Amino acid sequence: MERGSALVSREVNRPMIVREKSNAHRSAAKRELFWWRLDSGVISSSVMRIAFRTASVMLLGLFAACASASRAQSVATPARASDTSASSQHSYTAADIQFMNGMISHHAQALIMTGWAASHGASPAVLTLTARITNAQQDEIAGMQKWLRDRHQPVPEANPHGMVMKMDGMEHTMLMPGMLTELQLKQLDEARGKEFDRLFLTFMIQHHRGAVTMVKDLFDTYGAAQDITVFKLASDISADQTTEIERMQKMLASMIFGPNLP
């Protein structure tokens, strides 16, 4: 019984095996026929040239696209470089120049005020404050003068009485925001001891607020403070002097109301 089943199974599977062998023989025969036709010239060489030409065109198109992208990049790069160069050469404005000129004069007056502290009987706390202001603003004056010189602009002297301006062929001295009048300077110069401390703190708060206003006006001017040196200097002045205003207000309040002020 089992032998009969095996025979039946072989008979059933035999057509499938025969078909697989037949397919394999036909594929092999087709391959042999193709190569025979190719060797004997039955397949036209023009067909092969067309195939080769098609592949060549595709490769040339690819190379052309790469070359075009490379040329576009090489052309765009110098353009960006020239734009950057032009921007760096013209990044400052008339407002920047005016700010530098005005702040030089503004700082110069602050140095006059701090220079009186030692000889006018200032307290140790005020002496410490004036030393800090002197060191910072001396360096900033030198930096502002260098900035103007490097850009071939007129470099003003550090005039403590205001910024010198020429109008209609005549020179005029203009006080910057917060700067002391001649009367206020005289009043401070005549004070001594605690009175000097009180007036110094009062006037220097006024003076510092004027500098902060100058920075705000600069930043509010369209196109100004794009130069990195101008921007950094103005930002530092605003931050430092705002902090010093708060410190001086506390010192002044302590003098008026006593040291136990909360």
Q: How far is CA 96 from CA 93, 148, 231, 236, in A?
A: 5, 10, 9, 15
Structural domain boundaries, residue 117: 94-257
Q: How many domains does the chain have?
A: 1
In a domain? residue 83:
no
**Residue 80 placed within a domain:** no
**Rounded to 5°, angle at Cα 137 from 159 and 196:** 80
Predicted local distance difference test score (pLDDT) of residue 97: 97
Residue 122 domain flag: yes
Each residue's pLDDT tens digit, 210-255: 999 999 999 999 999 999 999 999 999 999 999 999 999 999 999 9
pTM greater than 0.85 (yes/no): no
Whether 243 maps to a domain, the answer reads yes
pLDDT computed for residue 28 by the predictor: 54
Residue ranges in the chain modelled with pLDDT below 50 = 1-21, 34-89
- The CATH number assigned to the domain holding 186 equals 1.20.1260.10
Residue 40: the pLDDT is: 45
Which helix (H) or strand (E) segment holds residue 164: the answer is strand 163-167
**Are 161 and 169 in contact, with CB atoms under 8 Å apart?**
no
Residue 105 lies in a domain: yes
Tell me, what's the pLDDT at 169? 78
Q: Contact 205/245 with Cβ under 8 angstroms?
A: yes
**Please, what is the Cα angle at 147 between 146 and 152, to 5 degrees?**
90
**Cβ of 230: how many Cβ atoms within 10 Å?**
22
